Structure 1
């Protein structure tokens, strides 16, 4: 079975942002996301793999037998857009996407260019919904 590539590391989150993010607005948004996600999750930021900043953690196990650990919520300040790891499968949260603002979505994350493109109170609701979903459906270290 394949080993997970994205594990919690001891790398410093602030050092990562200062060295990886080369755009002042993205850097400012990264620090703001850290403040917000820390507040919403109650957890300190940790690096996961080389580019993901995560908050809290949970253990998952798929029907296939593959299992591992992942952050409850998190983000990565990628070059093209932020990857926000806050999408959950709860149908009750689908209506929130209509109010979120300018974004793209995949199965695993939401992509936004900058924080000013989205409605922060709606992002908060999505993050909290994600955390509650994970708590109900996985072994959570929260």
Structure 2
């Protein structure tokens, strides 16, 4: 079975964020705030996953197909157009929070935000914390 390409590595999160900040100071500041939020939610330090994802903690998954691997509990990536936040259980359990979050879009487990100023940071922090708790309960 093919190994997942995106793996945790020893690249410097600070150096990565310095590069983000040099290109877009607002996005860099938003990323540094996301680190605080996600670190509080997980109690874990940030770690680079691949070249452009910052993840916190990890869990081991195994599908019925036999495919298995490890992934972060929560994380983010500063993409060109927006910030991608990874809410691993998806959004079905969080309707109430999502309705109060602010301006955003979602994918299956991705929350897309142009900038943190578009959302309620208290709601975002609660969303991240509850999603991490959900993952820990599901994959303990």
Report the TM range for the smaller structure's normalisation: over 0.9
Q: Note the alpha carbon deviations across 1:33-63, whole angstroms, 9 max, x for none.
A: 1112112211100001111101111111111
CA deviation vs aligned residue, 1:4-47 (integer Å, no higher than 9, x gap): 01111000001011124510100111111111211221110000
Is 1:18 matched with 2:18?
Answer: yes
Q: Once the 2 structures are TM-superposed, how far is the Cα of residue 87 of structure 1 from its aligned partner?
A: 4.7
Could you tell me how far 1:88 is from its partner in structure 2? 2.1
The 1:115/1:90 distance shift into structure 2, 3 A limit, reads closer
In the alignment, structure 1 segments of 5+ residues that lack a partner are: none
Structure 1 residue 97, shift from structure 2 partner: 0.7
- Find the residue that maps to 1:69 and give its secondary structure: strand
1:7 aligns with 2:7: yes
3-state DSSP of counterpart to 1:30: helix
Residue correspondence of structure 1 range 28-39 to structure 2 within 5 A: 28-39=29-40
Number of matched residues?
A: 139
CA distance in 2, matches of 1:60, 1:103: 28
Normalised TM-score (structure 1): 0.91
User: Residues of 2 paired with 1:31 and 1:135: CA distance?
Assistant: 24
Gaps of 5+ in 2: none
Farther-moved stretch of structure 1 (83-92 vs 129-138): 83-92
Partners of 2:88 and 2:117 lie apart in 1 by 19
Task: Give CA-to-partner distance per residue, 1:59-99, whole Å, 9 cap, x none.
Answer: 11111111111111100011110000025247441221110
- Separation of aligned partners in 2, 1:89 and 1:52: 18
- State the alpha-carbon separation in 2 of the partners of residues 112 and 87 from structure 1: 16
Tell me the SS of whatever aligns to 2:47. strand
Contact 1:88-1:129 within 8 A present in 2 as well: no
